[in-house]
Amino acid sequence: MNDRITESEWALMEILWQGEMTQPQLAQRLGRKWSKNTVHTFLTRLCAKGVLEVDRERSPHVYRALVSREECEREERQSFLQRVYQGNVGRMVASFVRDSQLSAGEARELRRMLEDMEE
């Protein structure tokens, strides 16, 4: 993946991770707030970023994801970790724990994961 994907691009990718689609199908799924030109612009950007590929042999053209949702999530996590916490995972986890109300089950799960990492 060449670049991070934007919030708007995520909306398109969420649909394309479900399966390949044409531009008109995507526009229909996205609803009225997305014009045909906007959809085309985002598809072009995502292809340039290496996240999508387009089958130009078919008419209308068919778009499919080249990168899995999991790969994009990993890129986003790493980018966030570096940008906000300078790569310090401990600081990030501590701040999330401090700022949110963990349920007893979530706290147990977090302890279990940390214990598993120590083994």
> Mean pLDDT, 10 residues at a time, over the chain (119 residues)?
84 95 92 88 95 95 96 92 93 88 88 88
**What is the model's pLDDT at position 2?**
58
**What is the model's pLDDT at position 3?**
78
Judged by DSSP in three states, 65 sits in strand
Tokens read off for 27: 């526009």
**What is the model's pLDDT at position 31?**
85
**What is the model's pLDDT at position 105?**
92
Structural domains in the chain?
A: 7-65 (1.10.10.10), 69-118 (1.10.4040)
**What is the model's pLDDT at position 40?**
93
